[in-house]
Amino acid sequence: MFAAADLDEHHAPAGHPERPGRLDASLEGISSADLADATVMTEPRLATIGELERVHDPDLVAAIEGLSQQGGGPIDGDTYVAAGSWTTARRAAGAVLDSIDALVNDRCDVAFAASRPPGHHAEADQSMGFCLFNNVAVGAAALADRGERVAIVDWDVHHGNGTQDIFYNDPRVLYVSTHQSPLYPGTGRLDETGGADAEFTNLNLPLPPGTRGDVFRQAFDEVVLPVIDRFEPSWLIISAGFDAHRNDPLAMMELTSADYADFAQRLQQMVPDRRVVVALEGGYDFDALRMSTGATLSALVGETYRPEHASSGEVGLPSITAARQLWDV
């Protein structure tokens, strides 16, 4: 396994939930799952300005650089820039690009882009929701420009409005999001299915608070996997936020680390070997991050680390029925 982990200089304001310890906790999951000896750790390169501008407005890229060089400051009530954020954010996007290159060059079977800040809320022209640049989108756009068909599956508890915004009218990329609704940022309706040139390439599965693993598994089996199969992707990027875990302080879902392992196993079979990148998004309870990262990566390399039992329940079943009807699966 290949893990690209950045040098974290994105220093958080006091009390902010998106803080440097998140990355440490996630990386500890590799050791907890007894995968350290099978993992090659590397410092990712910086994404170039040109690579960022594949998906972001040049004015946004320049604004983040300028604010960082001035010592940092707030973008909005949730999102901040520190003096080291320009370098760290470029390295976070570079981690996804390096992960892709490691897979292409057969240096690993599975790649993990372990970095912060997260990215899936960053739109083409706006940083928001803790996110500066959209790391997964930078990687997906690079692949699409090489002629690949890319499926992005975002199981973060929050809807990835930025990823949807960037690829909404791009038929080369399928975006799938399972997320709690209602919740920040208020986007991700079921009927948001893609632009005029990319109809039915944007699958949202908004689920109510309290949804557990059985309903997620049914949603994957009956909706997500058939939609991915119909799209026929050559690559899969998982926007792996772990804030739908039952211990997370920012949401109200009821997943466990074993549930994430189940999701990962299901998704892996949808693309050829050595074509899965896992990119860290949200997750704000350190123990949940450690266990969930470890369980996810363990499942993808064929191991069995599961520190918790899978969860079960029936909350959210009507959402699956509605999605099946809309998507004809």
* 92-114: pLDDT as tens digits: 999 999 999 999 999 999 999 99
Give the residue among 111, 131, 135 at the shortest CA–CA distance from 122: 131
For range 62-74, the mean pLDDT: 97
**Residue 3 pLDDT > 90, yes or no?**
no
Polymer length of the chain:
329
pLDDT per residue as tens digits for the range 293-316 = 999 999 999 999 999 999 999 999
State residue 276's pLDDT score.
98
State residue 6's pLDDT score.
56
pLDDT per residue as tens digits for the range 188-219 = 999 999 999 999 999 999 999 999 999 999 99
Task: Quote the domain boundaries for residue 124.
Answer: 2-327
pLDDT per residue as tens digits for the range 137-158 = 999 999 999 999 999 999 999 9
CATH of residue 59? 3.40.800.20
SS (H, E, C) the chain: CEEEECCCCCCCCCCCCCCCHHHHHHHHHHHHCCCHHHCEEECCCCCCHHHHCCCCCHHHHHHHHHHHHCCEEECCCCCEEECCHHHHHHHHHHHHHHHHHHHHCCCCCCEEEECCCCCCCCECCECECCECCCHHHHHHHHHHHCCCCEEEEECCCCCCHHHHHHHCCCCCEEEEEEEECCCCCCCCCCCCCCCCCCCCCEEEEEECCCCCHHHHHHHHHHHHHHHHHHHCCCEEEEEECCCCECCCCCCCCCECHHHHHHHHHHHHCCCCCCCEEEEECCCCCHHHHHHHHHHHHHHHCCCCCCCCCCCCCCCCHHHHHHHHHHHCC
Q: pLDDT averaged over the chain?
A: 96
Q: How far is CA 30 from the centre of its chain?
A: 18
**Are 313 and 214 a contacting pair, CB within 8 Å?**
yes
Give the residue among 92, 64, 103 at the shortest CA–CA distance from 6: 92
State residue 14's pLDDT score.
86
For range 17-45, the mean pLDDT: 94
State residue 4's pLDDT score.
62
pLDDT band at 11 (very low <50, low <70, confident <90, very high): confident
State residue 40's pLDDT score.
93
What is the spatial distance between Cα 35 and Cα 3, in angstroms, rounded to a whole number? 11
For range 34-53, the mean pLDDT: 96
- Does residue 309 carry a catalytic annotation? no
**Per the residue annotation, which of 120, 121, 158, 159 is the catalytic one?**
121
What is the spatial distance between Cα 269 and Cα 39, in angstroms, rounded to a whole number? 21
pLDDT band at 20 (very low <50, low <70, confident <90, very high): confident
Q: 0.95 cut: is pTM over it?
A: yes
The tally of domains found in the chain comes to 1
**Residue 5 pLDDT > 70, yes or no?**
no
